[in-house]
Chain A
């Protein structure tokens, strides 16, 4: 392709498109690097150059956190898997818009929050926690203790689901997805100060909801 490109005469008939040079996957010594060894930025470059297999690596690398993010919002395994697929499809379609001012993980979180909030918008919070994810109890766990932990977890999850949208998203990203306040600000398109304030109110409301539930039960 490069010889053909060089054949265009200066000032002659010039196409108004340019040839894309496929980014090399070779390291400094000229050896081919496995895709799995490349960082996210290089994988994105390769995806943009048409290497779908590079996107497979992106998926393998980030599917777990994206799934867990989605599960925090929808609390149903099948829904979380569907939403995870939706997040990656949107990311693939919009890869050209990934500017690299945030990490790929933060960008995926941003897409994930939007997809999940749209999905749960208008949906009534279920009375009983839905949790059909296949949990694997740690080996040697006392079944009674495991059951109590699972119940407490479900209670907290239901309370988180009742938080206002922004507080809920902030709490999920900070506590469960372990994003920094700055990363959350990038993911939610807001300021670090606003993220911290939302986090403060989310935690206050979470305690309040759990206390109300506890007092309502006989």
Chain B
């Protein structure tokens, strides 16, 4: 006669055995004794009541954990801190580089050099390179990108707003621009500088 396995004995003790297992237990004193012994041990274990600290302990513990969690949140990972806290500096650097590139590629600009191959007249890239006096940037998506990157956003504010790029997302957005897009960015930045006042000495429109 094959007796019940340990897990089947547990099922019998807990009253959730299937029909075949229950039928075996009904006719096998040995297996019934094992199930009884199990229940006996459960009662023994239960004689150790749950710990109940003072009710005053729970708010204290919750506050302590809340503080630890907030400290955890304030420990900003390295990539986040430099990407976002240095964002204005990064934007300024991009600006200078962009203006520098602009100075070298705009036709007729002093110091311009053939770094970028000549493009056919009338091509989109060529059009983008043309300095334009009447630039409307307010709703320009490229400018929105630059604004988003250079805005002085703290990590906490950005997280609280629910908007958060993945690591390096901002950098990638800039690096993924092709030549024509970089030219366009330079044009927009230059126009923005013009409308906002003092222009860097090397700026083409200075």
Residues of A within 8 A of B (CB): 1, 4, 7-9, 12-13, 15-17, 19-22, 49-50, 52, 55-56, 59-60, 63-64, 67-68, 71, 77, 80-81, 84-85, 88-89, 92-93, 133-136, 149, 152-154, 156-157, 160, 171, 175-176, 181, 192-193, 196-197, 199-201, 203-204, 206-207, 210
Interfacial residues of chain B within 50-108, with CB under 8 A of chain A in the complex = 50-54, 57-58, 61-62, 64-66, 68-70, 72-73
Q: Which residues of B have CB within 8 Å of A157?
A: 48
Q: Does B120 contact A (CB under 8 A)?
A: no
Q: How far is the CA of A93 from the CA of B77 in the complex (A)?
A: 12
| Given A84-B65, A88-B65, A196-B7, A13-B142 contact (CB < 8 Å) | yes
Do A52 and B61 touch (CB < 8 A)? Answer: no
Q: How far is the CA of A154 from the CA of B51 in the complex (A)?
A: 11
Do A13 and B69 touch (CB < 8 A)? Answer: no
Distance in Å: Cβ of A13 to nearest Cβ of chain B:
6
Do A207 and B41 touch (CB < 8 A)? Answer: yes
Interfacial residues of chain B within 157-206, with CB under 8 A of chain A in the complex = 159-166, 169-170, 172-173, 176-177, 181
Q: How far is the CA of A177 from the CA of B145 in the complex (A)?
A: 52
Q: How far is the CA of A121 from the CA of B144 in the complex (A)?
A: 55
Q: How many A-B residue pairs have CB under 8 A?
A: 161
Q: How far is the CA of A63 from the CA of B57 in the complex (A)?
A: 11
When the two chains form the complex, which single residue of B41, B177, B181 contacts A204, counting CB atoms closer than 8 Å? B41
Q: How far is the CA of A92 from the CA of B68 in the complex (A)?
A: 10
Interface class of chain A by DSSP = helix
Q: Which residues of A have CB within 8 Å of B50?
A: 68, 176
10 closest A-B pairs (Cβ-Cβ)? A196-B7, A200-B6, A203-B41, A17-B165, A153-B48, A22-B162, A133-B51, A17-B169, A156-B48, A196-B10
Interface class of chain B by DSSP = helix
Q: Does B141 contact A (CB under 8 A)?
A: yes
Distance in Å: Cβ of A97 to nearest Cβ of chain B:
16
Q: Mark B1-23, 1 if CB is under 8 A from A, else 0.
A: 00001110111000000000000
Most buried by B among A13, A20, A59, A71: A13
Distance in Å: Cβ of B87 to nearest Cβ of chain A:
14
When the two chains form the complex, which single residue of A13, A71, A152 contacts B177, counting CB atoms closer than 8 Å? A13
Do A71 and B162 touch (CB < 8 A)? Answer: no
When the two chains form the complex, which single residue of A13, A55, A149, A181 contacts B47, counting CB atoms closer than 8 Å? A149
| Given A8-B141, A149-B47, A20-B162 contact (CB < 8 Å) | yes
Distance in Å: Cβ of A74 to nearest Cβ of chain B:
11
Do A200 and B65 touch (CB < 8 A)? Answer: no
